Chain A
């Protein structure tokens, strides 16, 4: 296949001013690299955020009593917990489904008292769904069939000055607004690394929760999928398969502040990427415009010879695409080692976070990793080619305005 002369013309033109072409390529490459790193780090951060939310016991989605979103009352219970569990656990997309029941509790030991959110759990499922349940520092976690046992956070243990096998006096908000009492023996102490988080952890079995509150069943089923990207696809499927009276909601509805943060982060990231690309476009526009201005006579001659506007547009865009393609490769070469480093070793933010990585009940991982993958290649080319093409629009318009009469004159075109 023979390369058209317009293509040869475009490529060779770029070699006329090697330094300018190189600077343009580096400009595109650096802009592309910055955009790629930001997207890569943001994608990695989002993945960690989703994982942190899911691993904190919230799951990717939840089955809750219809109307839970409006008042978020702990007293509400699922209409048919068994059928709900069966429906979601039969799906191959589900990694784990864990039932929960919540209530507020006052824990007392001797003269010391502290508040906590008591969580009734199915111990085996809880250990699979929640990183918190796996963070036992002393003793053990709850086991199936445990009665009268509890696992508490290390901050609570410090405040109450208790240790394993001590018995806590528990006061809970129960059915119909009543207050109920009970005794629970500490079988394990959890240390998540977050004092705030450890100040509210108090896990009991669902059976103990039922007997303490007088409310049967679970108030929610947290669901973690094998792949968080399937959330939108699975919601309607679960809505069809669970009995009426219960609703399927996603983590966005459960934690609207986290969803807001995510949207804010994305907007901020996109604004920064937009600014970077805009700066690149302005730089390339300047270089491309200079290249066109220097060749005004040449364009005048081409028009005089009968070159059509569309062919001039093609010529200039071809030049831009070559710069863009080389810029994309340059960007990939520049940023791949950085992305590889941050994807494999991560960046540890524990110092910045001051040792507490919990926020809104979510226990975040302190180390952030970039997302490195083949998506970077089309992304780099899309950003670089789009930037250079956009940057060529004004120079193209300028070239099309060149007066062909100047081709017949030695005066400036």
Chain B
């Protein structure tokens, strides 16, 4: 599809559990457009996380074609896929997954260092955290923060390099409703102000309520794709 950030066409993904083949995705089609605030929903085992892995260049499809920013992932080397993730994509994980020995600022700064940003990375990291109203957390380590705070820092880390696409796997699963709401407002603000595109895999109705588009998966295929606007 033209102008899609992510274009997934007739994608299959099989896993082997011993000698048994598990068909996680069965000819799935999906296009993600710039500015989408997209929730992928569906029961456990429907293929949400598998789809997110493929869109995030973390895994390769068994069949079909996945294009991210026009680049066919199956043709990219492991190194090229790492570069794509580093420069173009942001990730938010269910378990926050901040580096425990680094402070909030250092966690954000770390991504910038990986990108090769020079001496200004510290100021940039501080500025990103302040922009997201996390200024008071800069010198705290993950163990000194609540789950909600950690997840907001994780979002700051994900958007530090100004990626065009942020993939979030069950981002609110470990948060109470107040923190979940704060997190979603922050993400929507980033979408509105900076034009970032968000794709969530979720079971959370709150996330669905914030989404501009909801894609439902079942048994590895898209069973519905609804835009709210």
Q: What is A's interface to B at a CB cutoff of 8 Å? A: 2, 4-6, 8-9, 12-13, 15-16, 297-298, 301-309, 311, 404-405, 407-410
Residues in B neighbouring A9, C-beta threshold 8 A: 99, 101-102, 110
B97 within 8 A of A: yes
Contact in complex: B58, A408 (CB < 8 Å): yes
Residues in B neighbouring A309, C-beta threshold 8 A: 78-79, 82
Contact in complex: B53, A405 (CB < 8 Å): yes
In the complex, what residue of chain A is closest to B54 when comparing beta carbons? A405
Looking at B32-40, B111-119, B127-135, the stretch in contact with chain A turns out to be B111-119
Q: How many angstroms between the C-alpha atoms of A15 and B49 in the bound complex?
A: 34
Contact in complex: B82, A408 (CB < 8 Å): no
Q: Which of A4, A306, A311, A410 contacts B85 (CB 8 A)?
A: A306
Q: Which of A13, A298, A301, A308 contacts B82 (CB 8 A)?
A: A308
Q: Which of A5, A404, A410 contacts B95 (CB 8 A)?
A: A410
Knowing A8-B102, A16-B100, A410-B95, the reply to whether A306 touches B113 (Cβ < 8 A) is no
Judged by DSSP, the binding face of A is: helix
Contact in complex: B83, A306 (CB < 8 Å): yes
Known: A306-B86, A306-B89. 18 other contacts (CB 8 A): A2-B122, A5-B102, A5-B110, A8-B101, A8-B102, A9-B102, A9-B110, A16-B100, A301-B93, A303-B82, A304-B85, A305-B111, A305-B114, A306-B111, A307-B114, A309-B79, A407-B58, A407-B97
B29 within 8 A of A: no
Knowing A9-B101, A405-B53, A410-B94, the reply to whether A308 touches B79 (Cβ < 8 A) is yes
Contact in complex: A5, B101 (CB < 8 Å): no
Residues in A neighbouring B94, C-beta threshold 8 A: 408-410
Q: What is B's interface to A at a CB cutoff of 8 Å? A: 49, 52-53, 56, 58-59, 78-79, 82-83, 85-87, 89, 91, 93-95, 97, 99-102, 106, 109-111, 113-115, 119, 122, 157, 169
Residues in A neighbouring B87, C-beta threshold 8 A: 306
Contact in complex: A407, B91 (CB < 8 Å): yes
Residues in A neighbouring B102, C-beta threshold 8 A: 5, 8-9, 12
In the complex, what residue of chain B is closest to A298 when comparing beta carbons? B99
> What are 22 inter-chain pairs, A to B, with CB distance below 8 A?
A4-B113, A6-B113, A12-B101, A297-B95, A298-B100, A301-B99, A305-B86, A306-B85, A306-B87, A306-B89, A307-B86, A307-B114, A404-B59, A405-B58, A405-B59, A407-B93, A407-B97, A408-B49, A408-B56, A408-B169, A409-B94, A409-B169
Contact in complex: A5, B113 (CB < 8 Å): yes
CB distance from B58 to the nearest CB of A (A): 5
Q: How many angstroms between the C-alpha atoms of A404 and B169 in the bound complex?
A: 13
Contact in complex: A15, B85 (CB < 8 Å): no
